[in-house]
Amino acid sequence: MRTSLRRLTVGALVLLGAAGTATAQTGATKIDSLAIRKIYDEALARGQSYENLRELTGTIGGRLSGSPEAEKAVQWGKITLEKMGVDRVYLQEVMVPHWVRGAKEKATVKGNKGKGLTLNVCALGGSVGTNGKLRAQVVEVRSMQELAALPDEKVKGKFVFFNRPMNPLYVETGRAYGEAGDQRRSGAIEAAKRGAVGALVRSLTLAHDDFPHTGTMAYDNQVTKVPGAALSTNSADELSQLLKADAGLTVELEMACQTLPEVKSYNVVGEIKGSKYPDEIITVGGHLDSWDLAQGAHDDGTGCVQSIEVLRLLKATGLRPERTVRAVLFMNEENGTRGGNKYAELAKAANEKHIAAMESDGGGFTPRGFNVEAPEATVRRLQQWQPLFHSYGSADFSAGHAGTDIGPLKGQAKALIGYECDSQRYFDIHHTAADTFDKVNRRELELGGASMASLVYLISKYGL
């Protein structure tokens, strides 16, 4: 048991005792406990998340926004929800960016003696290509501040090599990822401002291997667009060592990526109407798009199939929600958040009343609980239900970031909730060719869907 889990659960029990009115002290708690047990039994005995994920990843694979595979995934999501017999299934049109990687990227280190060493590299999402082979010397930095301190002559005409590792001391790996992410997002901009010809970025992972990690990068229209590429951690370490021995070495980079005109795509929405309060909405979702290097299994196929499973579990157990529950498969989380923005825009235009929005986008690993973005009183109200989740290992209810796609609903929904699972392995495969179906464990995945469905059941019954 994690310390944070024990602390929060004990805190919730104290809170329940003080309030005297929480559901855990009412006769309804036994009913709720039995209902949640029913949800978990259904998920573990007859859960469909794993087989749905097998189909999504096996027949379609990577689903980058604007691609034919993304369009196939939209149709897959719509058909899958329709087969479940939910009350309504529909599509929300949204225009999305269309970036293509092109031929496999190549990068080679050239030393003074002319010998070449191959680097494991991939283009960052949204990067411009190199227009053939681009060869230049390299300057290594560990931070934006270190780059800013260099004189222009040390940077101009070179590749800037951003080689800051993720901090291994944080228990929560997402924190380390967030801190190191500026070099991927803004590295090409800052390098170009100083006259560099491109940016080479250490992959955002704590693993030491040969998989380069892609991910979105940004450009500034006021600054020249230069290529941005990710190096595997092994290649980054090797290049760093070679630079120490030969500061004049060069890297030759070849990338054929390009941005094409925007494409029409869709969010996929399925819903069960609430039996008592149909105008009050609980949204649960994941993002249907993924990067193109692999099957997009953990990121975010698992979140999509878990969201679909929430609806199936409520139907299969006969626990019809009192408030309307929507499963949303968002399009374009990885390189634009167009789907999340469109969903919030349409919800606001329709004057919809959103009670809560939940997102699963941290992989399909062992459940731990939920992160909540809401006023303190709402967080405390959710924490009153922690004892009901304790025996399932998902009772860590904490204030924290909920998710990218539901973020635009802030101010509309009373609470934004992020499904939280064990994060220690996630960034080993995140945005890489290793994000494949075989990395997902059936029981972990089905337990996650049950955790999400159980919290949705409680919010549907009691509101916030």
Positions marked active-site: 333
Transcribe 168-194 into DSSP letters.
Answer: TT-SSHHHHHHHHTHHHHHHHHHHHHT
Q: Report whether 121 contacts 202 (CB < 8 A).
A: no
Q: How far apart are the C-alpha atoms of 198 and 136, rounded to whole Å?
A: 9
- Amino acid letter at 108? T
The HSE-up count of residue 100 (CA atoms within 13 Å, CB side) is 12
The total number of residues shown for the chain amounts to 464
Q: What are the two backbone dihedrals, phi and then psi, of residue 110, each rounded to the nearest 5 degrees?
A: -115, 120
Residues pairing with 159 in the sheet: 138, 198
Query: Pick from 426, 367, 395, 295: which is nearest to 11 by CA?
Result: 395
Residue linked to tokens 């239900």: 385
Query: Pick from 60, 329, 104, 96: which is nearest to 216 by CA?
Result: 96
Q: Report whether 47 contacts 244 (CB < 8 A).
A: no
Which SS3 state, helix, strand or coil, does residue 314 take? helix
Which SS3 state, helix, strand or coil, does residue 22 take? coil
Tokens (6 digits) for 142? 């560990």
Torsion of Cα atoms, 403 then 408 then 412 then 416, to 10°: 0
Q: Report whether 358 contacts 327 (CB < 8 A).
A: no
Which class for 18: exposed (0-12), middle (13-18), buried (19 or more C-beta within 10 A)? exposed
Q: Which residues lie closer than 8 Å to 244 by C-beta, 6 or more apart?
A: none
Q: Report whether 423 contacts 417 (CB < 8 A).
A: no
Q: How far apart are the C-alpha atoms of 277 and 270, rounded to whole Å?
A: 17
Report cis status (omega within 30 of 0) of the bond before 300: yes
Q: Report whether 97 contacts 65 (CB < 8 A).
A: yes
